[in-house]
A = this chain, B = another copy of it.
Amino acid sequence: MHLFYQSEIIAGEATQHLTEDDSRHAVKTLRLRAGDAITVTDGHGNQYAAVIHETDLRRCAFRIKAVHTTLPRPFSIRICVAPTKNLDRIEWFVEKAVEVGIERISFFFGQHSERRVLKLERIEKIAISAMKQSLQSFLPKLDDAVPFGEMLKTIGDGQRFIAHLPPDRPPVNLAKRATEAGQYVVLIGPEGDFADTEIQQALVAGFQVVTLGPNRLRTETAALTACQVLNFINQ
């Protein structure tokens, strides 16, 4: 199955167009021709069974034959994570989290963050590619990196967790604290961990301190593990 992504499907329009990237991929790489069947997702839960109408390297036209709509999951996972110093690691997290299932990824810069710049465009491409690869029809929301305090203001209702190993209290695992069918938010700190003031801010905002297992995990491993735990408790 060839799955393409076009976020702007125009209702009622007979002929639609693939994006420039996907047009090139369809026509040049896959050598699709007029009449060939494709599947297009809008990233909002709809998958369209379609056929290529007119090939064009930049604006390949297709016509929709049927639509299959998936409802959002009865739970949602939002991971707020500090980008890693090494970009590969955070990109890897995005790819894997999208594959296993996530609703939203928010980036933030903490006081101990070494990385202070993150280009969302590349991250978006990775997320789209992972959505296609895993045959899903929802593209997670991605939020540009902002300072920790600003990010905290964007947190809505739901079960709030911060991954941290407090020196003075016995750790409680996320798997024991989170309950089914929740709207989860988990905060994952940078390589240098959260600053004490950040942990205080999170506690004031109603976040519960949790651990993600007995081992010390890298930032990107912790972020993916949180995502996996929340998927599992909802299976």
Contact = CB atoms under 8 A, between A and B. Distances in A.
A39 to B, nearest CB: 13
A213 B221 CA distance: 19
Given A175-B235, A235-B175, A100 B213 contact: yes
Nearest to A1: B216
A175 B233 CA distance: 9
Contacts of A75: none
Interface residues of A, number: 26
Could you say how many copies of this chain the assembly holds? 2
Interface stretch (A8-16, A128-136, A145-153, A199-207): A128-136
Contact of A217 (B134, B215, B235): B134
Interface centre among A101, A133, A221, A225 (most CB of B within 10 A): A221
Contact of A134 (B216, B228, B229, B235): B216
B99 A215 contact: yes
A216 to B, nearest CB: 5
B134 A100 contact: no
Interface in A184-235: 213-218, 221, 224-225, 228-229, 231-232, 235
Contact of A173 (B173, B224, B235): B235
Contact of A100 (B92, B101, B215, B232): B215
Nearest to A224: B96
Contacts of A92: 92
A135 B235 contact: no
Given A96-B221, A175-B235, A228-B229, 13 more contacts: A92-B92, A99-B215, A100-B213, A100-B221, A101-B213, A101-B214, A133-B218, A135-B216, A136-B215, A173-B235, A213-B235, A228-B232, A229-B232
Interface of A: 92, 96, 99-101, 133-136, 173, 175-176, 213-218, 221, 224-225, 228-229, 231-232, 235
